[in-house]
Copies of this chain bind each other. A is one copy, B any other.
Amino acid sequence: MITVALDAMGSDLGPGPLVKGAAELTLEDRDLSVLLVGDEPTLSQHLAEQRYDPSKLAVVHADGVVDMVKKPAEALDQTPNCSILTAARLVRDGEADALVSSGSTGAVILAAARTFKRLPGIRRTALAAVYPTERTHGPREDPFALMLDVGATLNCTAEDLVGFAVMGTAYSRIISDIGRPRVALLSNGSESNKGTPAIVKAHQMLVQLESVEFQGNVEGLDIPRGTVDVVVCDGFLGNVVLKMLEGVSEVVSDLAKDAYESKFVWRVGLTMLSKRLHQLRAMTDWKQYGGAPVLGFDQVVIKAHGRSNHRAIRNALIVAAKAVRRDLSGEIRRALPRPMQPTDPASPKS
């Protein structure tokens, strides 16, 4: 039985969708239990409205919620027993196997950094996100690719980028069942000499690395096309790119909505277009597609979107359990290049 600690207080929508998502999941035939972490009276009240399997769900009390207006460090300092820190400690202490939170990204990453260890050989953590693409990926033909880092580490060395490539490969193998995920560095040209010094050096290192199916550099054009399964970049670039995709989704959605509302005959036309427009709509719906992993810690951490509905929370919990069951940390450790494996006695650099 895998146990997931769910920070039940961080959502923009209140604890409702989190409690509902966890409760419904306990009724499914899965080897998975949930610790709901947060204000006990509030959570119990929400739980009273749900059907659930009490053998697979328990509430763990935590005091206070992280103040999202404040800086994460200050907010965590002021509420040392808040839900995200309490949930992280449950994982650290072996009471749970993975952490899921829909709290602010900064607070989740910082809580993990204060509670967990980094994986040996990984110097910097990465937030990975799935985003919609034209081409499909893997045996399930997912219309999503993975991008990392999208905001955890703004300025990356070549070694950091190589670490991200390894972690993205491991996550994509484990969660999307892609045997050899195609990985590329995001740069300003496909040639190996294009990009910042860190990108050029990471390119040279990745060419040598057998555990990563490295496809070289991709450009901005390749992001919406979905040329590769895993796009690697620093957190500054990834943040801008990801938010831009959200912005494009919004604009497309606005245009479609305007058209839809304007005239009945257009509505008929739009309805007819359903199959293709469904793909456009997927671009606006992907935020509901579960969680984004925070990679690089010795524990599984999934950051769910702040406005996740109960279905997205359910998916995030399942993804977290899958990552534990299939040993994401071991998969990452085995794929690191030898000089980045600190426990490797053959490497004098470590």
Contact = CB atoms under 8 A, between A and B. Distances in A.
Interface of A: 134, 151, 154-155, 186-188, 195-196, 219-225, 235-237, 239-248, 250-252, 254-256, 258-259, 262-263, 265-266, 268-273, 275-277, 279-280
Nearest to A193: B71
A280 B263 contact: no
20 contacts: A154-B196, A187-B236, A187-B240, A188-B235, A219-B240, A220-B240, A220-B241, A220-B243, A220-B246, A221-B244, A222-B247, A224-B251, A225-B247, A236-B237, A237-B237, A240-B241, A244-B244, A259-B276, A269-B269, A269-B271
Contacts of A265: 272
B246 A221 contact: yes
Given A255-B276, A263-B272, A270-B273, A221 B250 contact: yes
Given A155-B196, A221-B246, A222-B247, A279 B263 contact: no
A195 B219 CA distance: 22
Q: Chain A at the B interface: mostly helix, strand, loop or mixed? A: helix
Contacts of A280: 252, 255
B223 A247 contact: yes
Given A224-B251, A266-B273, A269-B273, 17 more contacts: A155-B196, A188-B236, A195-B236, A219-B240, A220-B239, A220-B241, A220-B246, A221-B247, A224-B247, A224-B250, A237-B240, A240-B241, A252-B252, A259-B273, A259-B275, A262-B276, A263-B272
Contact of A134 (B188, B251, B276): B251
A75 to B, nearest CB: 15
A114 B113 CA distance: 51
Contact of A223 (B154, B244, B262): B244
Contacts of A268: 269
Contacts of A277: 255, 259
A312 B188 CA distance: 25
A156 to B, nearest CB: 12
In order of increasing CB-CB distance, the 9 nearest A-B pairs are A269-B269, A220-B243, A220-B244, A221-B247, A188-B239, A259-B276, A224-B247, A220-B240, A224-B251
Specify which of A155, A186, A239, A262 lies most central, judged by the most chain B CB atoms within 10 Å of its CB: A239
Contact of A188 (B154, B220, B262, B273): B154
A243 B171 CA distance: 27
Contacts of A243: 219-221
A134 to B, nearest CB: 5
A252 B243 CA distance: 18
Contacts of A196: 154-155, 236
